[in-house]
Amino acid sequence: MGNIKKPRGTIDIFPDEMGFFRRIESTARDTAELYGFGEIRTPTFEELALFKRGVGEVTDVVQKEMYTFEDKEGRTFALRPEGTASVVRAIIENGKTSDAMPLKYYYLINCFRYEKPQAGRSREFFQFGTEMFGAKDASADATVISLADMIIRRLGIKNVKLHINSIGCPECRPIYRQALTDYFKSHEGELCDTCKERLNTNPLRILDCKNPECAKIAKDAPNTVDYLCDECKEHFETLKEYLKAQNTEYEVDTRIVRGLDYYTKTVFEFICEGIGAQSTVCGGGRYDGLMEQLGGPSLPGIGFAMGITRLILAMKESDSLPYDMKNPTLYIASMGKEATAKALEIVLSLRNRGIYAECDICARSLKAQMKYADKIGASYTLILGDNELATGKAQLKNMYNSTQKEIDINGIYEALSNEPMML
């Protein structure tokens, strides 16, 4: 008899790789908490009925990918394939719907899907996810998207693009669905077998079929955004304005429909180039009908989930390091008592705002101070002397590429906020 091996599509994680998991987990936790989300944990398995109702009977996840089992008393359970349905169940079951709105939770969990294992796709995988309930305004969508964006940036992942789309609501989606069905019906003969079936069950899924023939036909299919009702259109336009206002770069991608049934209005994905075919590192959107569908009150919801192993692939592709970098964002070098007093004041105000900053506390020479700044890996440095105190201006130096920028001594926090390495 040969040696026993781990189940197909699972991973063993040793300390080297664990460094990446830990950096992602701590970055995700810290960032989510900056946005006021609290950690939640729910059971690894749930009644199968929860996912059937929550994820959708005709989704690939429920139809093909579930790990289900019967317990000793004949009840049917499933290992969770995702986190949202469980969180909604937990909110309802624990009466959290009477808490102050919006409810904001995040989780770090393992999920299980019976899929064909490949790079970025496994049978047990790990997700960081967030859920927000009770906020229907587009500003909530913009906030949740900015949280995902900040986590990705803080992990040092480059080559990522945010794709957004709106897939409408129960009022306008049926009209779109009909238009889509009519279009695909006229090409039925050219579709793959799975898509022929999807034509009757879930035509939106044809849009992201990987089969090249289907993809070619899908290219000219009607777009969701052309079928939105006034309310959905207004919501989508407002979201775009808010994203612009907060400097979140995006592109509208009418092919994004998302795999799970419960989405309404906004859907989005962060797509990373260079990590292979499974390039969606984060997927999310709005699900205004889900809470009610699972027996709770009508509460709008929005959230996202990130695949941790895909984030690791993306970090490696960006030469990002596996551990949390504990180096300061800013080091202030100072000359003279007055400048040191100012440096202490600035450093404290930055620390109060959660930014790791340092200044000279050894009364060293300027040269020695700069050497020290380099040694501790400060991202930025600033020199304060008589001249700077007199003019109120100083040079903020980017230690990575040695560029300098004149900034207001009293506006350092604001100046840093717009700097790429601050995060």
* Binding stretches for ligand ATP (CB under 6 A): 82, 113, 115, 120-122, 125, 127, 258-260, 278, 280-283, 305-307, 309-310
Per CB under 5 A, residues contacting Mg ion are 259
d(CA 394, CA 390) in angstroms, rounded, equals 10
Q: Tokens in use for 175?
A: 């009209």
d(CA 1, CA 42) in angstroms, rounded, equals 38
Task: Compare residues 123 and 397 and give the one whose CB is closer to ligand ATP.
Answer: 123
85 binds, among Mg ion, ligand ATP, none (CB under 5 to 8 A by kind): none
The single residue listed with the structure tokens 């919006």 is 102
Task: Compare residues 127 and 143 and give the one whose CB is closer to Mg ion.
Answer: 127
334 binds, among ligand ATP, Mg ion, none (CB under 5 to 8 A by kind): none
With residues binned 3-state (H G I as helix, E B as strand, rest as coil), the percentages for the chain, rounded to 5, are 45, 20, 35
202 binds, among Mg ion, ligand ATP, none (CB under 5 to 8 A by kind): none
Tell me the residue number closest to Mg ion, measured at CB. 259
CB of 323 to Mg ion, least distance (A): 30
CB of 113 to ligand ATP, least distance (A): 5
Give 309-376 as a 3 state SS string: HHHHHHHHHCCCCCCCCCCCCEEEEECCHHHHHHHHHHHHHHHHCCCCEEECCCCCCHHHHHHHHHHC
301 binds, among Mg ion, ligand ATP, none (CB under 5 to 8 A by kind): none
Q: Report CA dihedral (178, 183, 188, 194) to the nearest 10 degrees.
A: -60
Task: Compare residues 28 and 306 and give the one whose CB is closer to ligand ATP.
Answer: 306
Strands 380-384, 393-398: parallel, antiparallel or unpaired by DSSP?
antiparallel
Task: Compare residues 102 and 307 and give the one whose CB is closer to Mg ion.
Answer: 307
Task: Compare residues 112 and 380 and give the one whose CB is closer to ligand ATP.
Answer: 112
Q: Residue 367, by phi and psi: left (phi above 0), alpha (psi -120 to 50) or beta?
A: alpha
228 binds, among ligand ATP, Mg ion, none (CB under 5 to 8 A by kind): none
CB of 239 to Mg ion, least distance (A): 24
Tell me the residue number closest to ligand ATP, measured at CB. 307
CB of 375 to ligand ATP, least distance (A): 38
CB of 315 to ligand ATP, least distance (A): 13
CB of 259 to Mg ion, least distance (A): 5
d(CA 224, CA 203) in angstroms, rounded, equals 12
154 binds, among Mg ion, ligand ATP, none (CB under 5 to 8 A by kind): none
The CB-side HSE value for 11 (13 A sphere, CA atoms) comes to 20
235 binds, among Mg ion, ligand ATP, none (CB under 5 to 8 A by kind): none
Strands 68-70, 45-47: parallel, antiparallel or unpaired by DSSP?
unpaired
Task: Compare residues 18 and 277 and give the one whose CB is closer to ligand ATP.
Answer: 277
Task: Compare residues 309 and 340 and give the one whose CB is closer to ligand ATP.
Answer: 309
Instruction: For residue 291, give the amino acid letter.
Output: M
Q: What phi, psi does 339 have (nearest 5°)?
A: -70, -35
CB of 155 to ligand ATP, least distance (A): 13
CB of 62 to Mg ion, least distance (A): 12
